[in-house]
Amino acid sequence: MSLTPITSQTVLLHLLAAWMSERFYRTFRPTDELPKNDDMIGFDALITQRNRMIGVFIAELWNAPEITAVTDQLSALLSDDTVSDESIEDGAYAVWIPPKVQLPSTEPYLSELRLQLIKGMRGIPIDERREIRIPRVVTLAKLENTGAYMSVTGGFSTEWLALSEDVQGSFHLDSHKISRLPKERAEVESMMTQIRDKAMLLREGELTKLDIFDHWTISHLPETINSGVAVISPPPELDPHDGTPVRRDLRRVLKRVQQSDISTVDMKVLVVTTAVTHIDQELVTTAIKGMSPAMYGMLDLVVVVADGELRQVLQPRALPWDAS
């Protein structure tokens, strides 16, 4: 039996409802379809809490329709793969593609990625997330015997200072195939030790390849979502460290919120996903702080989702259940 791939909007909605249930100690139930009611036009979805209605706006902070065909194809293939793999627990899963990753669309690269992702889904408990290892190759070169420095491009570029510690000579590391470092610092240190140890063996002018792992995230989503797989991927050309597109797309979303009739619900929430490798690197909070409150004052809560984790950006001034 084939499964219907899950949309990113569905993922964000159900993650938001689960997060609100845990944070506010109440049960929030998402509705995947809006009621046929003109008063609700404008919201992307609704969440109910007893007799209260929460209107939800959902957005990706990028605009890349060209990547949708690739993610839809991979989502459909992975959804079918989970059905045929008995070692994968029934349920819904989300694959969070790190920024700057160009997903394959041709063979054999597509099948190789499918196998790696399916292997990573095995044994993930519900409502949990896991880092999976994607094999990659980086290039290390010793430029000169003099100096004590390693220049770095790619995923390890933020670690150039740590990589330069105790090296003898001048080196260059090309790690552009690494899109995301592991969350645990000990794992990052272990990878850097592997690189430094290899550097010690190089002669001047020598170049070598190192087998190393990229680290992606897979979430086993709340049981409120029908079984299937969602692949959530920002456009590869988007720079996760550039706040300009974040501010631009956030203003675009907030303009849509302002133009909607949102007076008919008990609470108004905006949930967005953004292109970062880890939630603590998100730039939505900074973007909100730099805006006039008039831009977002009609909202009661803003939540950002990245890498399978959620962070509250805008604190509710009042909660409807506290008033009663």
The tens-digit pLDDT sequence of the chain (324 residues) is: 567 779 999 999 999 999 999 999 999 999 866 655 555 567 999 999 999 999 999 999 998 787 888 999 999 999 999 999 999 999 999 999 999 999 998 899 999 999 999 999 999 999 999 999 999 999 999 999 999 999 999 999 999 999 999 899 999 999 999 999 999 999 999 999 999 999 999 999 999 999 999 999 999 999 999 999 999 999 999 999 999 999 999 999 999 999 887 668 899 999 999 999 999 999 999 999 999 999 999 999 999 999 999 999 988 878 888 765
Q: Where are the domains of the chain?
A: 8-126+221-323, 130-218
Residue 67: predicted pLDDT: 86
pTM, full prediction: 0.94
Cα(234)–Cα(62) distance, rounded to whole angstroms? 7
Residue 39: predicted pLDDT: 52
CB of 233 closer than 8 Å to CB of 11: no
Distant-in-sequence, close-in-space partners of 279: CB < 8 Å, separation ≥ 6: 304, 306, 307, 309, 310, 311
Q: How is residue 166 written in tokens?
A: 């105790």
Beta bridge partners of 302: 270, 314
> How big is the CA angle at 114 (ends 112 and 116), to the nearest 5 degrees?
70
Q: What is the DSSP letter of 175?
A: E
Kindly list the distances between the CA atom of residue 136 and the CA atoms of 63, 107, 259, in Å, as whole numbers in the listed order. 28, 17, 46
Q: Is 209 exposed, middle or buried (0-12, 13-18, 19+ CB in 10 A)?
A: exposed
Q: How is residue 58 written in tokens?
A: 């959902």
> Of 230, 228, 227, which is closest to residue 217 (Cα–Cα)?
230
Tell me the residue ranges of DSSP E strands in 39-168: 45-49, 52-60, 92-96, 129-144, 148-154
Q: 3-state secondary structure string, 190-228?
A: HHHHHHHHHHHCCCCCCEEEEEEEEEEEEEECCCCCCCE
Cα(12)–Cα(30) distance, rounded to whole angstroms? 10
Kindly list the distances between the CA atom of residue 175 and the CA atoms of 24, 149, 191, 197, in Å, as whole numbers in the listed order. 42, 16, 12, 16
Interhelix angle 109-121/65-84, rounded to 10 degrees, is 60
CB of 263 closer than 8 Å to CB of 43: no
Distant-in-sequence, close-in-space partners of 86: CB < 8 Å, separation ≥ 6: none
CB of 212 closer than 8 Å to CB of 194: yes
What is the distance between the terminal CA atoms of the chain, rounded to a whole angstrom? 47
Beta strands 169-175; 228-232: pairing state: unpaired
| Helix (H), strand (E) at residue 288 | helix 284-289
Cα(217)–Cα(132) distance, rounded to whole angstroms? 6
